[in-house]
Amino acid sequence: MSAGYVVMELPIYLDHAASTPVAPEVLQAMLPFFTDSPWNAAAIYAGGKEATDAVETARQQVADLIGADADEVFFTSGGTESDNWALKAARMGPTQGRSHILISAIEHAAVIESAEALARAGWDVERVPVGADGCVEPAEVDMRISSRTALVSVMTANNEVGTLQAVEAIADVCRSKRVLFHTDAVQAAAQVPLDVQKLGADMVTISAHKLYGPKGVGALYIRRGTLVGRWMDGGSHERGLRAGTVNVPGVVGIGAACSLLHMRRNEDMSRVAALRDRLVSGVLDRVPECRLSAAESPRLPNFAHFCFRGVEGEAILIGLDAAGIYASAGAACSSRSVTTSHVLRAMGMSDEWARGAVRLTLGRSTTEAQVDYVVDVLAEVVADLRR
Ligand SMILES: Cc1ncc(COP(=O)(O)O)c(C=O)c1O
């Protein structure tokens, strides 16, 4: 890389969809629960009450962000666990002979593999296709629901290309047919308003480390009255549904992160969207044979997913890394896999384009100068690889 580039503080982090840094305010809120107040929330002495109060404050903070009541929020170890619980709850609750599940073709592995586990247990799992635009048509869900359908799971926003799904309309379809609806809002929660009342989902997954909170903690919203089975045995934690000593610092962290997000999301959204637009137009102007994925679809404001024809995405990422830019090819969990993404395949993209996929996801610390540097480097890396 030419020496002219090295004026930037590196690395430049453009992989916020993989994880976000813990906000300083969140870390401050968590620290006492590692040090001065390490109490178990189940203990009966005063310290236990202090920990319980902190957990319940966090529950209210999460509830406030998503328009829920606090008793509808259950803490988990993250998005993966919440997705597992939501899908497998269909098996654990009273299913009245229903054994059919619908998931979209572009779900995260946590949903796909949970559904595959249900399939091994004899459930009928069906995938709802998406169009080339990366979106699920509510009518496609509607026509697949039968009297045997127990649950539909369609993500609020996709974690590779960032497409926002018509989840309100899909929830309406499910409600009218008395079928449970779950949505994985892990990527959406940090970027766009999420109101479970308006949304009408029965279960919603969120994860702290995608919204400037700590890794290893998440939540599952379960609408009051939804019949779900006990998820983890071993005690009466989380109102008897999810046993295990509560991760008090982590839970305080997700609460603080949600509270901070509640205050600043609109500001974050418009700032990041403007930077994303600058990045997109810069890349499309400078790099030939490059496409913005799902360009015409509603997308998360911080996502820019490109495909470069005839170039390996992984080679581009290595070139970016060498210039101090951290990005990824798609889902964090599959970033070391060499197969093309199931999301791009579901969108009907040819291998020739899909192999050259690069996902750039912006965040609170992204600046205009970083964006301009990334455009310069990306143009040079792709040109070098094509030479
Ligand atoms: C859409 C989506 N669902 C679920 C997960 C898993 O969340 P966690 O990392 O908290 O287990 C992720 C993480 O990449 C995600 O993007």
Give per-10-residue mean pLDDT for the chain (387 aa). Answer: 62 98 98 97 96 98 98 98 92 72 98 96 96 98 96 98 98 96 97 96 98 98 91 94 97 98 94 98 98 98 97 97 94 55 96 96 97 98 96
79 lines ligand 1 (CB under 6 A): yes
pLDDT at 93: 56
Six-digit token pair at 83?
């997705």
Q: Is the CB of 109 under 6 A from ligand 1?
A: no
107 CA to centre of ligand 1 in angstroms? 10
Ligand 1 pocket residue status of 363, Cβ below 6 Å = no
| Residue 8 CA, ligand 1 centroid: distance in Å | 30
71 dihedral zone (left: phi>0; alpha: psi -120 to 50; beta): alpha
Q: Spell out the residues 6+ positions from residue 31 whose beta carbon is closer than 8 angstroms to its own.
A: 249
Probe target for ligand 1 pocket from 77, 113, 210, 336, with the most ligand atoms within 8 Å of CB = 210
Strand order in the sheet with 180-184: 73-76, 218-222, 203-207, 180-184, 149-153, 100-104, 124-128
The sign of the CA dihedral 322, 325, 331, 333 is positive
Q: What is the pLDDT of residue 6?
A: 52
Alpha-carbon distance 353 to 131, whole Å?
A: 17
Are residues 118 and 87 in contact, defined by beta-carbon separation less than 8 angstroms?
yes
C-beta of 184 in contact with ligand 1 (< 6 A): yes
List, by residue number, the catalytic residues: 333
8 Å CB contact between 142 and 278: no
What pLDDT sits at residue 260?
98
Cβ–ligand 1 contact at 186 (below 6 Å): yes
Q: Which ranges of 287-331 does DSSP label H, i.e. alpha helix? A: 313-322
CA of 207 to the centre of ligand 1 (A): 7
As a whole number of Å, the CA-based R_g of the chain is 21
**How much distance in Å is there from the Cα of 209 to the middle of ligand 1?**
9
Q: Is the C-beta atom of 207 inside 6 A of ligand 1?
A: yes
Non-local CB neighbours of 25 within 8 Å, separated by 6+ positions: 256, 260
Domain edges within the chain: 3-22+265-386, 24-261
Question: What is the 3 state secondary structure string of 148-199?
Answer: CEEEEECCCECCCCCEECCHHHHHHHHHHCCCEEEEECCCCCCCCCCCHHHH
Say if ligand 1 is within 6 A of residue 191 CB: no
Both structure tokens of 233 = 């045995």
Report yes or no: 294 and 347 within 8 Å, Cβ to Cβ. Answer: yes
**Pocket flag, ligand 1, residue 112 (CB < 6 Å):** no
Residue 114 beta carbon below 6 angstroms from any ligand 1 atom: no
Ligand 1 center–CA 50 separation, angstroms: 30
Cβ neighbours around 266 below 10 Å, total: 10
DSSP 8-state assignment for residue 242: B
155 lines ligand 1 (CB under 6 A): yes
pTM flag (> 0.75) = yes
- Which among 38, 20, 35 is positioned nearest to 258, based on CA atoms? 20
Task: Tell me whether the omega of the peptide bond preceding residue 11 falls within 30 degrees of 0, making it cis.
Answer: yes
For ligand 1, the distance from its centroid to the CA atom of residue 275, given in whole angstroms, is: 24
Which residue's CA is the closest to the ligand 1 atom numbered 7? 79
In this structure, the dihedral spanned by the alpha carbons of residues 20, 260, 273 and 278, taken in order and rounded to 10 degrees, is -60
Q: Which atom of ligand 1 is nearest to the CA of 208?
A: 10
Nearest CA to ligand 1 atom 16: 159
Distance 80 CA to ligand 1 centre (A): 6
- Residue 216: how many other CB atoms lie within 10 Å: 16
CB atoms within 10 A of CB 70: 14
> Encoding tokens for residue 370?
């970083």
CA-proximal residue: ligand 1, atom 5 (nearest): 79
Residue 91: both structure tokens together: 């098996």
Which are the contacts of 387, defined by CB distance < 8 A and separation ≥ 6?
Answer: none
What is the homologous superfamily of the domain 3-22+265-386 according to CATH? Aspartate Aminotransferase, domain 1 (3.90.1150.10)
Q: Which ligand 1 atom is the nearest neighbour of the CA of 331?
A: 14
Comparing 3-22+265-386 with 24-261, is the CATH topology the same? Answer: no
Kindly report the protein residue whose alpha carbon is nearest to atom 9 of ligand 1. 79
Residue 18 CA: nearest ligand 1 atom is 14
The pLDDT of residue 2: 47
Burial of 58 (0-12, 13-18, 19+ CB in 10 A): buried
Domain 24-261: assigned CATH number: 3.40.640.10
